[in-house]
Chain A
Amino acid sequence: GQQVMQIPQYQHVQEGEDFTTYCNSSTTLSNIQWYKQRPGGHPVFLIQLVKSGEVKKQKRLTFQFGEAKKNSSLHITATQTTDVGTYFCAGLDNYGQNFVFGPGTRLSVLP
């Protein structure tokens, strides 16, 4: 079945440094969504990417969908302590109706 992997598993950065997490799927995706989960909270939707090579920006966050629609990345510029949390990608393949979540990347930001 479809597998979604994310690297790194953990990332510790100093406030102001940049951060990137990568998401890779074993199958071609119909679309991909990114979620953020704060400690003790539930996943909150950030963005959805649909088109091959698509790039979307939300303030300091940049999301990219690979040309082959099998990988994606999330880049945060100049991290802040409010960015702390676990970032999950979730991919919908071309055959299924359910999203498969990656294991997440846990981001810690040191002030």
Chain B
Amino acid sequence: GAGVSQTPSNKVTEKGKYVELRCDPISGHTALYWYRQSLGQGPEFLIYFQGTGAADDSGLPNDRFFAVRPEGSVSTLKIQRTERGDSAVYLCASSLGDGRDTQYFGPGTRLTVL
């Protein structure tokens, strides 16, 4: 079947604006992860969903970041009052069960805050 998809692929916004990034996981995968990757660095964990609930949101940098997964499938990462430092590639990954399963990554959304 289809892999993990993310939209948009690129997002350019101005400082202070609100953005939403969407992730469609592989069908049937209960676990969903959001990561942020800056140039030359490894993926930085943001939040992990198991079903509809956020099992671990310890990686969210501050309260401007919020994510939801209301029906246990699609997830949206929401960033309020964007700052230039938020510019990065936001990666979504899903896995069948929990952290012991293979994570399948989406292509990412490149966010640029001007």
Contact = CB atoms under 8 A, between A and B. Distances in A.
Contacts of A88: 42-43
- Interface on chain A toward B: helix, strand, loop, or mixed SS? strand
Contacts, number: 62
Interface in A32-47: 33, 35, 41-45
Contacts of B103: 33, 43, 45, 99
A6 B43 CA distance: 13
A97 B98 CA distance: 7
B102 A48 contact: yes
Contacts of B100: 30-31, 48, 50, 92
Interface in A65-109: 88, 90, 92, 96-104, 106
A50 B100 CA distance: 9
B99 A92 contact: yes
Contacts of A42: 91, 105-108
B20 interface: no
B105 A97 contact: no
B108 A98 contact: no
A23 to B, nearest CB: 11
Contacts of B106: 42
Interface of A: 6, 30-31, 33, 35, 41-45, 48, 50, 88, 90, 92, 96-104, 106
